[in-house]
Each structure stands twice: as structure tokens, then as C-alpha cells.
A and B are shown apart, each in its own frame.
Chain A
Amino acid sequence: MKISKIEIKDFHQFKDFTLDLTYPEGHPKAGKPLDKVCFIGQSGTGKTTLLELIPLFLYWYEESNLMERIGVEAILNKVYFQILFGFDRLYSLKLHFDKDIERDIALFWENSSDEVYNYYITEWQNKIASKLIYFPANLNFDLENIDAENAFDQDAIIDFSKTKVASVWSVILEKVQAYQEQELKIRQDISKVAETSFSDLEAIQAAVRKLEEWKKTEFNPIKDVADNCLDRLLANYKLRVKTELDFKTKDDIGFIKIEDYNQNEIPHGLWSTGTKQVILSALPLYLLKPKHTVILFDEPERSLYPDLQRLIVDYYSSITTDCQFFYSTHSPIIASAFEPWEIVELKFNDQAHIYREVYYEGENHVDNYKWNPKYMRWDDILQRVFDLKDDGSPARKEKLDELATLNVKYRKLTQKGQQHSPEAVEIVQKIEKLSKALSKWD
């Protein structure tokens, strides 16, 4: 299930606004919905609004912050979503909200039969696709009091602006506890052997071997999370998941534990916000294993060091199946993970309405795109995509102007044959000093 088009006739700052979310001509997937979309734009251009409209249209989810503020009435007959779903054959639905003959708000569909809509609701949403997942900008970092009960079963979508992200641990908590229980039992057996046959070295060794064999063959859910999900990300912080647990009872596990490379456990209270951010955004995707659904990330760069920002977009895609991602970001590093047709840059026009700045000239064809964020330097992305005027701070700009002025003055003195005059010598000294400070020798 993927969104191929959003049309907004008149809603807030949007007026006669259309977003084509399909691959352009010349692309192997031309005409199909984009696998990932990146919203960028000044604050107030409606990035989060667009993100929060998505669950409403796909799951009639009215509990987003936006919908709680304005209510569905505000968008009746004003916003249209076109979605495509299916496997070999793709079905299309154009959805909008309106009032039915009994004056109740209802979701209407165009361009399709009732059968297609029923298939979408009963089969696709309920049986084939996973639930939509929403990661807000400010994730709930609380790591305590996690229940074994799965908190997500009852909700229409998985909304981490309402649900504690760490509660995703409940998905594997039972498995972890069962594994730990079994390990405890084998360890107790070793203790018993050591107690009763303390002089029988072979018996003790056999008991220990049994534990080792068991560890080799038994699926360890924590080691799985460590090896296949978190350790490669945590390596950036010189940390890893703690897979050998010194618990006393099975209930000690609570939430995942991490340690440094010297095996010092880092208590939850001392986790940095960056560590929490990376664990709490990657872990849900790994554990929930979403497929054929939509995943929303508002400002995924929060608290993440640039090195990690480079990785996460591709990484999140790699641990999901056939999902469509929507990101909203202010980070040039996040933006550099996208092809130019995947970037939706929102801007205000003269009438303070929003339009999408396109990066192609003429026909929407892959060959007509002016630039590709994947090939650009970060500063170039900041200037071309994020419209930043300068390549550094105002202080750098001032010094660059100063350097340019000295260069020109020196050139003019040289043209007059005065390159050895005291004035020229003084200028050269200043140029050298400034050039060094500005790293201008490139």
C-alpha cells in the first residue's frame, strides 16, 4: 500500500496543491509510487501536517495532534489521497472524506468498485499489510515499566507520539524471558553437578558443554537483535547490546541492556539521547517487521551525530518489506539519502500558499533533473536544496569579504608595479593569515 498522489484543494496554507508521488519517466519504476519521500521546507510549510494527514486517510486515525486540534470536518472535500496496493496487479483508490446521506462523516472512494475498497479494508489492511507506524519528532524516551502485554494490538496504527516506544520490547519479551528461564535452569543444573560431584571433573565439564551446546543451537532473541539490528548502529558510540545477562530472575530483563567494549553495563538512566534515539527508532522496525505499509518519521535526525544520520534512511528501508517511508527533515545529511524525485521541497509563494519546488526542467524525466542530492556535498545541499545563502557563519562571510578585498587591493598594486611596497607587503601578510583561518587553500 503506497500513496501515489495527494491533492489539497484548500486547507490551511495549502491551496490547489498537488503532490505527484510517483517515479518519473525514464526510471525503472516510472509511474509507480515512490518507496520513500522526504519533506523539507521552512517551519510552517506543512511538513508535519502532511505526515499527520496520512494516518487519517489510510486508517481513519483521528488521534493525531493535528486531527485532535482541527477535527475531520475541516478537510471534508478538501483533501484527496490516491493510493495503490496489490501485488502482481495494482489496485487504485482515490479517497476523500465527506458527509453521507445521513449527514455522518464517511470515507468515499473514486475510480474503483466497492469490491476493490472492500478488499482494501478487509484483506489488505487487516491481513496482508502491517500497521502504519508513526515516529514523531520527540520520541517518548521512557524505558521503564514495560509490560509483557502487547500494547499495539488494540490501536488502529502504531503511533509513538501516544505510545511509549520502549513498549515495543513487549513483542519479544516473552521469548526473551523463556530463553532466560531455560538458561537459568541449565546453569542451576551445572551448580547442582558441581555441588554433588565436585571431584568429578568430567561430569562438571559435561554439564558446562551442555550449556555451550544449548547456546549454539538455541535461538537467542537478544543476540539476534544485537547481531542483526543494533550493534552496527551502536558501534558508532563504541557500545553494543549486552547479550550475557547477570540477572537473578527472569523479570530482571525489563528492557534491552547495553555495555561498552569493556563490558561495563550502561544503566538506562545514563544512556545518551543519541543512544536512545537510535535504539528506539531502529528497534521497533526490526521487531515489528513491517510489510506493505507506510512508515512516517518526523525529524529522524534528532540527537543523531552526522555519521549515523548518513546511515539510517537506507538502514530503515533494509529492515522492512515493501514499505513506503515518509520523512520530514531539516538535515542535509538525511536529504542526501534521497534521489531528487523523492524530495518534496515545500515553499511559500507570494500569496503565502505552499507550492512544491521541482528540481527538473521541462518534462518530469530522470534526465531532466538539475541535481541529485546523493552526489552533492553537504554544503551544496544546504545551499541548493535548503536555500541557505552562505557556506558558513556570518563571521565567515565577513572574513571572506575581507579576504576578497585584500586580494583585489593587492592585484591593483601589482598592476601598478607596487607589489613590493610596504602597503603590498602588509596586505600579503593579512591575506596569508586570513587564508589560513578560512581554509581557503582549496
Chain B
Amino acid sequence: MQKIDKNYDQILSTKYKAWVDKLEKDQKKHPESRTYYDDVVMDLYRCQRGVCAYKEMFICIENLYDVNNWQNGQYHIPDQAAFKRTDHFGELEHFDATLKTNQYWLWSNLFMIHDKINNLKSAKPVVAYLKPDLDDYAPEKYFDYDEKTHRFIPNTDIEDPDQIRQIQSMIDEVLFLNHGVVLNERANFIQDIKQKKSFGTSYQIDRFFTAVRWCLDDFS
């Protein structure tokens, strides 16, 4: 649940941006056309650094969202590239599902999330204050991470029992932050990084940014 910088004015898919801006200005319903699908998806991956917006699992290779894949404001990868546009396993998430009907391509409402978890999540909405690109969103305000069990929990400083229950329900039933597979992969990744750090060997943090940051801060 990292904070995601999705600055609309700085996206690379400017042709898509112009197209959506015009639709919005004209107050038109967004068409079902998938003309700008790759533009949106890859720009989102660029903002999310190739991980699921919620679980921070690695879901897209870096080559796919390299800035060089955009030319003249449009996403394109050559046919002879060693990777394909489908070399990722994320799905487009409409944060506020009610906007899907008329504003399907609205940038601020879109994220890329893990396809398997998207299936589990189905139509269950994420509570508004956990939207990862909000100006005042910070994961540490709402979550804590226990390095021993590798579980996310509601921040123990929160006193409102309703909010604790709400965040716990988000963790378990909507975001699936402690889903067995996610938890095991996260635990393995963190242990691996810590081991490399202790051996003084090089390592790359390319997923689970939030949990890794919190665990490494405590690492002595």
C-alpha cells in the first residue's frame, strides 16, 4: 500500500491525456474503445514502479514501462522487442467502481493490481481514505507491519474501534495484504534482502516497498 505519485500533468501518454481531457470537457461518456489501453496501463506501471498498487507484488517487467517506449506522447514497443506488451499479470482497477460506466478512462480512478487478487477482490470497494494517490495518504497512518509474523495490521495507535475493524477488513477481505501467497512471498523477499545486507552483497528492492522500508529501518 505504498503512496503512488500519479501526477496527471507529468504522464507520458499525452495523446491519451488530450483524448480524455476532451471527453471530460465535452462531458461525454467515455467510449469502450481500447485505443489507449496500453498507454494507460504502462503509464500506471511507471508510476507504480511495476508493482501491484495494493499488495506491492512484482507484476510487470521494467522494460515494459521504460520511458523510451513512449514516442510523441504515445506508447509503442517495436515488434522485434525481446518482450511483449502482455508480459505482465496485472489488471486495471477502477478504484471507484461507480465511475466506470461514464468515466471508464479517468486517470485518477485507475490503478494496476495483481490479476489473481483482483479476482478475489471482485467488486468490493476500497475505503476512500486508502486511495494510494491521495495527497495526504501515507501507509504508516493506517498500517503497522509485524516483521515476526510478516502481517500487516491496523496501526496500533488508532483508537477508534470502528476504524480498526474497517482497516482490518480491508487487509483481509479487500486488499488481501495477508493472503498466504502474498505473505510468504513478502516474507521471503524481506529475509533475502536482510541476508544480502548482512553479507554486504548487492541487492535490489523492486517490490514490497512499504514493508521492506519499515523492516530495514529496524534492521541493525
Residues of A at the B interface (CB closer than 8 Å) are: 347, 361-362, 379-380, 382-384, 387-391, 397, 400-401, 403-405, 407-409, 411-412, 440
Contacts and interface: CB of A to CB of B under 8 A. Distances in A.
B87 A362 contact: yes
A408 B144 contact: yes
A389 B119 CA distance: 13
Given A384-B181, A408-B146, A401 B153 contact: yes
Contacts of B151: 400-401, 404
A383 B184 contact: yes
Contacts of B84: 362
Contacts of A400: 149, 151
Contacts of A409: 156
A286 B34 CA distance: 58
B200 interface: no
A400 to B, nearest CB: 6
A384 B148 CA distance: 22
A391 B149 contact: no
A401 B145 CA distance: 11
Range for the number of chain B residues in contact with chain A: 20 to 34
A389 B120 CA distance: 10
A347 B120 CA distance: 12
Contacts of A382: 180
Contacts of B144: 405, 408
Contacts of A388: 180
A409 to B, nearest CB: 5
Interface in B106-130: 116, 119-120
A389 B156 contact: no
B176 interface: yes
Contacts of A390: 180
Nearest to A438: B149
A389 to B, nearest CB: 5
A407 B87 contact: no
B2 interface: no
Nearest to B171: A401
Contact of A412 (B87, B145, B156, B168): B156
A273 to B, nearest CB: 31
Given A362-B87, A383-B184, A400-B149, A405 B156 contact: yes
Interface string B167-188: 0100010001011110010000
A408 B146 CA distance: 6
Contact of B148 (A361, A362, A397, A407): A407
B149 A404 contact: yes
A411 B218 CA distance: 10
Contacts of A401: 151, 153, 168, 178
B4 to A, nearest CB: 24
A389 B146 contact: no
B181 A403 contact: no
